[in-house]
Structure 1
Amino acid sequence: MAASHPSGPRDASHGPGAPATAAGDALRATGAAVRDADPGDAVAGVAPRWVASPASTEEVAALMRVSAGYDLAVVPVGGGTKQAWGDPPQRCDLVVGTSSLVLGGGSAVEHSCGDLVARVSAGLPFDVLQSALAASGQELALDGPVPGGTVGGMLATAAAGPRRLRYGTARDLLIGITVVLADGTVARSGGKVVKNVAGYDLGKLFTGSYGTLGIITEAVFRLHPVPPARRWVTTALPAPAAAGESATGFPVGPGALATALAASQAEPSAVELDWLAPSGAPALSVLVEGTAAGDRAETVRGLVGSGRATGVRAEAVRDLAGGGDGPAPGGRVEAVPETAVTRQAPGWWGAPPGEVLLELRIPPSGVDRALSAVAGRGLPARVRGSLASAVLQIALPGEVGAAAFAAFVSGVRADVAPLGGRLTVLAAPAELARLAGRWGPVAALPLMRRVKERFDPGRRMSPGRMAGGL
């Protein structure tokens, strides 16, 4: 990791009691655009005093040096699409928006097409990045967040979609990162070629940090060619049996079937679950990409229709590339836009506004029992997500009662803990999250506290957003 340190001594006369006008003037003197906050700038209900829109890593560093001198709590914000994730900050003086950040030369993307590498500003919307790369027939093989979500926000929340099964998560595709620490230090790790992995651990550390360690300003990613064809095979699974009729409640275990599909020669990029109600029939969606996509889709059809999954029938094969291989026997082909890839799969990126959202992570061997635990809790839960990767999201109606919600969360946690699983409350009203416990038991909390002390000893970076008040 290479680091450039802030110049000049810290002014010890500044502190929590320093006049707000002096701090505001010092922030504006950095050259970054700074304004007084308004009610719409609140982060998870916590109102800041100022909002800054820096244009470069250097301006972010200058803002952080001033914030260190005046003991200001700082919260970075990208597109604002996941502000409800994590606990509200315990205090927030300055919001640092990343949407105006650019690289040297004024561009937000530096694309090395021949190396399959892109250097990207953290404030760039993910869909804009994909459009820029698509012009060269390449992509960042992640499924983008909700419209308006940024690259930095995707990293900060460790969001990853259906294709994590084949390509991994942002941690796996990130080969370089630039961050600004709480004292204004600029730290860089990794490089702009895939074989250079120096400092890669810094990228892993900041991915999923919710802005509690510093501000991500740039990222370098390994890219992939856009597949020449994409096909979804959608499968209707039998509804769960009545309690006591089977070990898991499912005549055909979705998790067991997903494991078989993931290990098959079809090499799927995603195996997704869409279960709209605990008493209903789950739907399984399998994505195959690349060469011979049609033949591999037929392999998937054979697996789900074989004795390995009695009673399962492949209902459709969808050619998302808009043509090419023709209809599969017994199926139907629909030409749909390339952008429909994430719409065809379950909505992994979150519940509709007003709903409560939880995330369930569990070893693949425990998926079926975990799904039965969710179904047995008596709430109208909707379960969607990456079945073969065993990362699922559970949506509940926003009007769910506090007692019922807390009982649901504690009950599911108790059921999945022996299976090696954990349940997190991603988005919920503050009172519901408090009653249920947003994070649940966190075994790594002592280590997380040591890391926080190392990177942000003054607890000024998004304080309280993560487990244990970090």
Structure 2
Amino acid sequence: MGTSTAVERTTGGGIGQRLAEICGERFARPAGMADGVAGAPAAWVAAPGTAEAVGAVLRAAADRALSVVPRGAGTKLDWGAPPSRVDIVLDTGRLAGVWHHSGEDMVAEVGAGTPLRAVQAALARTGMRLPIDAPSAEATVGGVVAADETGPMRHRHGSPGDRLFGVSYVDATGVLHHAGGWAAGETAGHDLARLLCGSNGALGVLVSATLRVQPVPASRIWVTRQVRSPLEMYNLVRLIHGSWLSPAAIEIDLPREGPTGSRGSHPAGSALVAGSLAVLLEGGQADVGGRVARLVELLEGDSRVHTAAPSWWGRYPFTADDVALRIDVPSADLHAAVYALRDAAGTPIPVRGSAGLGVVYAALPGYLAPEQIASILSVVRRVLLARNGRCVVLSAPPRIRREIDFWGQLPTLPLLRRVKERFDPDHRLAPGRYTGGI
């Protein structure tokens, strides 16, 4: 309540009343402690129920020079750098539903506040699916697009941005726009829509997304195999890449390097298990059956066939107490990146993600001092830079968050600044949340 009172004083008052007029008394309130964004306290929470109401909230904020941070289910609200201020949290939860589904065009328009699992359930009734499997279990479609959050199926089907057909969004001045889809200038519109992916709400407030869908495959089979080192992982993934088996996903789980978590400390001949490799094959039953047999033969070892995913599949290896990292590197260099990370940390570091693409997540211990985290990041980023890769921090405990560099070197930073200036010249939308802390 204290924060909201301060905002009232600096803006001449009336924002709470105006938000209630726009959204309804039940859907506008002073923010509480749980409404903070990456450690930054919020003043107000507003939940508009229509695109027009979203525009009205943003116009009211613009009139009073207030900042706005969009929020879906809040599953990734602690990702990224803290915003410089949070005057209004704009909750998109009422912008929910599968608004239009065209089986002929293989697209579905979905409200930004719709939980991804609800979309999948609705599409499944018509034999369709959205090939997006974000690990955040309660995530909304808007949150997944805004964070460009991907899961195992990114290997074959790409990121949420790759599935976008069009979007509707409200800009910082409160104007509703439609990009992509069947609108004039479709190519330019798609490029504009893609800019919103990964922007963390710093370029516009997503109202809906029109996404490409596909039929549910008749068969889904996972083949798993234990791996003894990141190098063995690399060799197996290389074999799969050269096999023409068309996997839907290739995932790796490396919780440790061995039973005691360190190299070179085990008796000769002992069977060390660093983690697991899992491959998903999808398609017709006969076709998948043949490819499974070929994959088992290719992987050898202790390969096993399953009709359900491993327990770790599609889950992040970190918790809220960890420093969460995302590493992007060519898959041929992923093993080198894993070794560099573990050597720099001097302790076993869990790594999990898409080995077939070289996109993985890792967890540094949150009890380390900020300067230790910074040193580890510096070493790993130097290794990755030489391999055309990068390492970004997704989230970190509060005592570390403001002391580290989330992004490392960003050659595209001047371009990102121009994009921000184009969409939000007054820096009112999620200020400081865009890539590079813009």
Q: One fold, TM greater than 0.5?
A: yes
After TM superposition, the structure 1 = structure 2 runs for residues 47-86 of structure 1, keeping only pairs within 5 Å, are 47-86=41-80
After TM superposition, the structure 1 = structure 2 runs for residues 226-265 of structure 1, keeping only pairs within 5 Å, are 226-239=216-229, 250=231, 252=232, 254-265=233-244
Counterpart AA for 1:265: W
Q: Distance in 1 between matches of 2:154 and 2:215?
A: 16
In structure 1, the partner of 2:93 is: 99
Q: Distance in 1 between matches of 2:105 and 2:224?
A: 35
2:296 counterpart of 1:301? yes
Structure 1 residue 469 displacement after superposition: 2.8
Distance 1:31 1:401, change over 3 A: closer
- Residue of 302, 305, 309 corresponding to 1:317: 305
Counterpart AA for 2:299: V
Secondary structure class of the residue paired with 2:94? coil
Counterpart AA for 1:26: R
Q: Distance in 2 between matches of 1:221 and 1:393?
A: 26
The superposition leaves residues 379-437 of structure 1 with CA deviations (integer Å, 9 ceiling, x where unpaired) of: 22000000111101001233233333222211111111101111111111244233331
Number of residue pairs aligned between Structure 1 and Structure 2: 412
After TM superposition, the structure 1 = structure 2 runs for residues 126-141 of structure 1, keeping only pairs within 5 Å, are 126-141=116-131
Q: Distance in 2 between matches of 1:200 and 1:467?
A: 20
After TM superposition, the structure 1 = structure 2 runs for residues 304-453 of structure 1, keeping only pairs within 5 Å, are 304-305=299-300, 313-320=301-308, 341=309, 343=311, 345-348=313-316, 351-377=318-344, 378-453=346-421
Distance 1:453 1:96, change over 3 A: same
Counterpart AA for 2:136: V
In structure 2, the partner of 1:266 is: 245
Q: Distance in 1 between matches of 2:99 and 2:72?
A: 16
Q: Distance in 2 between matches of 1:362 and 1:415?
A: 10
Any stretches of 5+ residues in structure 1 without a counterpart? 1-14, 241-249, 306-312, 321-340
Same amino acid, percent of matched pairs: 37
Q: Please say if residues 235 and 304 of structure 1, whose CA atoms lie closer than 8 Å, have aligned partners that are also in contact.
A: yes
Secondary structure class of the residue paired with 1:203? helix
In structure 1, the partner of 2:199 is: 209
RMSD: 2.2
Q: Please say if residues 191 and 197 of structure 1, whose CA atoms lie closer than 8 Å, have aligned partners that are also in contact.
A: no
Q: Distance in 2 between matches of 1:433 and 1:233?
A: 38
TM-score by length of 2: 0.89
Q: Distance in 2 between matches of 1:115 and 1:214?
A: 27
Secondary structure class of the residue paired with 1:452? helix
The superposition leaves residues 29-70 of structure 1 with CA deviations (integer Å, 9 ceiling, x where unpaired) of: 324532222222111222222111111111000111111111
The superposition leaves residues 67-93 of structure 1 with CA deviations (integer Å, 9 ceiling, x where unpaired) of: 111101000000001011111110111
Q: Please say if residues 135 and 315 of structure 2, whose CA atoms lie closer than 8 Å, have aligned partners that are also in contact.
A: no
After TM superposition, the structure 1 = structure 2 runs for residues 176-195 of structure 1, keeping only pairs within 5 Å, are 176-191=166-181
More divergent stretch after superposition (149-158 vs 436-445): 436-445
Structure 1 outlier segments of 4+, above 3 Å: 195-198, 341-344, 433-436
Secondary structure class of the residue paired with 1:232? strand
Counterpart AA for 1:27: L
Counterpart AA for 2:62: A
Q: Distance in 1 between matches of 2:229 and 2:423?
A: 49
In structure 2, the partner of 1:6 is: none
Q: Distance in 2 between matches of 1:130 and 1:144?
A: 12
TM-score by length of 1: 0.83
Q: Distance in 2 between matches of 1:93 and 1:461?
A: 10
Counterpart AA for 2:253: D
Counterpart AA for 1:220: T
Q: Distance in 2 between matches of 1:258 and 1:16?
A: 60
